[in-house]
Structure 1
């Protein structure tokens, strides 16, 4: 389960700020371990922390380890949900799994045509392929390259797409719009969050 933790300050702002460094160190530690996906202050006061896919015991232990919780500076409200869909690149498991990330880089003289052709191939995958978690197509600032950043449940499920004649036809049409294209599959080796 993904958990949205809403923090409400129980002490004056001066006390919150006096212990901010300890809280930030806690955020970074758990962010670097993949347990915290996103966090930040709320405009109306308090803060929000979004966790990775943790069970009830793990989220309870996480909350209890926060210096703000230990010192009575903030209370936590927990909203849990089943995280079925995530934007490509968002890895919700705090421990390595079989998932892979595809990075496909192509140089092109016509980025609009290349993006359209690659989008046609990815749209087919999105409608037909098991294990496809989503894709993000990027165009370089210079306009000479595009990148497909896609997430898959496993390398085996990714490999299957090359047995689909419709995908290979569409991918070939994409390749014809590029001057060069190369892809690699990756797994997360380490997470480093901002230290500020």
Structure 2
């Protein structure tokens, strides 16, 4: 499992100009089963994506993000192995 942390490199008006396309890209990531949850950071200086699958597939998916294609954000991928979950999230830990 992965946590992807995006940090914007440009002002929010440039982010907002590509936001609709970014949302469509996110929807495709959910439809393909790569993304699990996503959202904006607070304060709004980037975002977080939780993803499953393997690193190669995730990295290939991230290349399609308009924020990546237009060099608007930096990405940090952290891989981890869930070992405990709250009730209702057992599937995420492979339990």
With the shorter chain as reference, the TM-score category is: 0.7 to 0.9
Displaced runs of 4 or more, over 6 A = none
Change over 3 Å in CA distance of 1:57–1:85 after alignment to 2:
same
Which of the pair has the greater relative contact order for Cα pairs under 8 Å at 6+ separation? 2
Cα displacement string for residues 37-94 of structure 1 (whole angstroms, at most 9, x for unaligned residues): 0000011221100002x212112112111111011011101111013444535755xx
Change over 3 Å in CA distance of 1:43–1:80 after alignment to 2:
same
Change over 3 Å in CA distance of 1:90–1:7 after alignment to 2:
farther
Give unmatched runs, 5+ long, in structure 2. Answer: none
Once residues 79 and 9 of structure 2 are traced to their aligned partners in structure 1, the CA distance between those partners, rounded to angstroms, is: 23
* Map of 1:29 onto structure 2: 28
Alpha-carbon RMSD across the aligned residues, in angstroms, is 1.9
Once residues 34 and 84 of structure 2 are traced to their aligned partners in structure 1, the CA distance between those partners, rounded to angstroms, is: 17
Q: Which has the larger radius of gyration?
A: 1
Give the CA deviation at 1:11.
1.1
Once residues 32 and 55 of structure 1 are traced to their aligned partners in structure 2, the CA distance between those partners, rounded to angstroms, is: 16
